[in-house]
């Protein structure tokens, strides 16, 4: 899958912004994420920050954990909602995106609800990822 319909992007956006409202943050950035599995199911998650920052759970990992817990293991796309300029998943989150979706997984980011959605493939974000 190299593109998503406008309807799928809109549904992912709505879900990611909705779950973002439940983020538990200690720092400045609440993050929501929505995932679309290859089966067509959608899952959401938010970041959960801990006072010992090494225990933070990123929204992408929370979302993918929920997807796997539901019995879905094949990722088609993620949409991340964060009110920050030039936001992308961190390297650890991209490791999970590659693990479950491969280099062709769509990674979309939106910095304001209803705003422009930037979509890239995982391999465009990490072009030298080990195969």
pLDDT on residue 130 = 85
**Residue labelled with tokens 């990674």:** 107
pLDDT on residue 131 = 75
Question: What CATH superfamily classification does 6-112 receive?
Answer: Cytidine Deaminase, domain 2 (3.40.140.10)
pLDDT on residue 1 = 55
pLDDT on residue 3 = 83
What value does the mean pLDDT take over residues 19-38?
A: 97
Confidence of residue 2 (pLDDT cuts 50, 70, 90): low
SS3 92: helix
Tell me the domain boundaries of the chain. 6-112
The pLDDT mean for the chain works out to: 95
pLDDT tens digit sequence for 47-66: 999 999 899 999 999 999 99
- Nearest CA to 38 among 115, 105, 129, 91? 105
pLDDT surpassing 70 at residue 77? yes
93 secondary structure, DSSP code? H
What value does the mean pLDDT take over residues 26-32?
A: 96
Q: Model's pTM, two decimal places?
A: 0.94
Are 127 and 97 in contact by the 8 Å Cβ rule? The answer is: no
pLDDT tens digit sequence for 110-124: 999 999 999 999 999
- Nearest CA to 41 among 72, 86, 80? 72
In angstroms, what CA-CA distances link 21 with 32, 52, 58, 64? 8, 22, 14, 18
Query: CB under 8 Å, gap of 24 or more: what pairs does 50-54 form?
Result: 50/26, 51/26, 53/26
pLDDT on residue 108 = 97
pLDDT surpassing 70 at residue 18? yes
């Amino acid at each position: 899958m190299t593109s998503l319909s406008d309807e799928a992007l809109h549904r992912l956006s709505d879900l990611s912004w909705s779950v973002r409202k439940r983020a538990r943050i200690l720092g400045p950035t609440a993050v929501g994420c929505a995932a679309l599995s290859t089966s067509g199911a959608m899952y959401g998650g938010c970041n959960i920050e801990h006072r010992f920052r090494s225990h933070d759970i990123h929204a992408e990992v929370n979302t993918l954990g929920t997807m796997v817990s539901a019995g879905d293991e094949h990722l088609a796309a993620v949409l991340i909602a964060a009110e920050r300029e030039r936001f992308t998943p961190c390297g650890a989150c991209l490791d999970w995106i590659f693990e479950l979706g491969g280099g062709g997984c769509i990674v979309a980011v939106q910095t304001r609800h209803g705003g422009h959605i930037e979509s890239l493939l995982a391999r465009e974000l990490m072009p030298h990822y080990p195969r």
